Structure 1
Amino acid sequence: MRPHLITILTLSYGALAHSSLAALELISNDISQGKPMSSKHEFTGFGCKGDDLSPHLKWQGAPKGTKSFAITVYDPDAPTGSGWWHWQLVNIPASQTELVTGAGVKNSKLLPKGSQQIENDYGNAAFGGACPPQGHGIHHYRFTIHAISAEKLELPQGASGALAGYMINANTIESATIEALYKRD
């Protein structure tokens, strides 16, 4: 093998090894991958009696080019034909790496300046907790952090979840997800 080819292979391997170390990661003190959520993350209403608190979320390893973040929470198991959006938070500054438990309440003072909560499928511009129909079995709640290539997603007040989802997906560089579980017997 020629010396310059060995050098290129070594550099390529080194770049791959480094990039895997810096992958975007989402962690939480409140929820865990594949584990049931507590009732503090259950919705208040529609027959549910939880505390309706968004969980603590922390992320690290943002890829190069990240100019802001977005958070989405989606239940694909909701019996709607299109799932259920529990939370969409956009325009989180790139310097932000954590949200405390309960940050997603309506008109929150705990969210970073400039961020925008999109109306969820409950009809609130806030986090809306889990509330699967009784006896419907386990639902999967996908909490996802998106590294966004734009400083600000231009969304009108009252933007639909579909429009927000389109803009988030069109500008996502990388994402990481925790899929937590919830059911009501």
Structure 2
Amino acid sequence: MPPSSPRRLSARSSASFCGFNARPGGNSLPEGAGDDGGSGLPAPAIQLPNDARAARFIGGAPPAGHGPDRYLITVHALDVEDIGVQADNTPAFFGFTIAPHILARATLTGTAETPAGR
């Protein structure tokens, strides 16, 4: 769930997508990069199952009429090339594992809204 979702049950937001091991120098991902097979991710990047345990991007679905939900996209620069996280681990485990290796972090915030009556 995004941080502003009325359906959120915990203090932590849910991870809709988690990819890692992308090499420095990339500045974009093609449309569909978070598909079921991760085919659009730059090698040797890996995507983890999200909090719904699906290894793909699950987009925003704010409740109709709720107003805009915020969606956070965070990119980390690490001091290691391979963090050693396995493809079946969770985003929470990934976050715990990278914490001591973070050199820099950038977060973008986007919004999505489903109008009332839909």
TM range (shorter): 0.7 to 0.9
8 Å Cα contact 2:51-2:90 kept in structure 1? no
1:100 matches 2:100: no
Secondary structure (helix, strand or coil) at the match of 1:75 reads coil
Shift in Å, 1:122:
2.6
Q: CA RMSD in A?
A: 1.8
Query: Which of 169, 172, 175 is residue 99 of structure 2 equivalent to?
Result: 169
Cα distance between partner residues in 2 of 1:75 and 1:170: 25
More helix by share: 1
* Deviation of 1:169 (Å): 2.9
- 2:63 match: 133
Q: CA deviation at 1:170?
A: 2.7
Give the alignment of 1:1-185 within 5 angstroms: 75-78=2-5, 79-81=8-10, 82-184=12-114, 185=116
Q: Which has the higher strand share?
A: 1
TM-score (normalised: structure 1): 0.55
- Structure ID, larger Rg: 1
| Per-residue Cα deviation, 1:10-43 (whole angstroms, up to 9, x for no partner) | xxxxxxxxxxxxxxxxxxxxxxxxxxxxxxxxxx
Any stretches of 5+ residues in structure 1 without a counterpart?
1-73
Q: TM-score with structure 2 length normalisation?
A: 0.82
Distance in 1 between the 2:64 and 2:101 partners?
37
Gaps of 5+ in 2: none
1:78-112 CA deviation, whole Å, 9 max, x = no partner? 31213221111110012433212221111032211
Deviations 1:123-174 (A, max 9, x none): 2112111012333332110111111111011112310121011123332211
Q: Report the residue type matching 1:151 in the other structure.
A: E
Q: Which 4+ runs in 1 deviate beyond 3 A?
A: none
Which secondary structure does the structure 1 equivalent of 2:63 belong to? coil
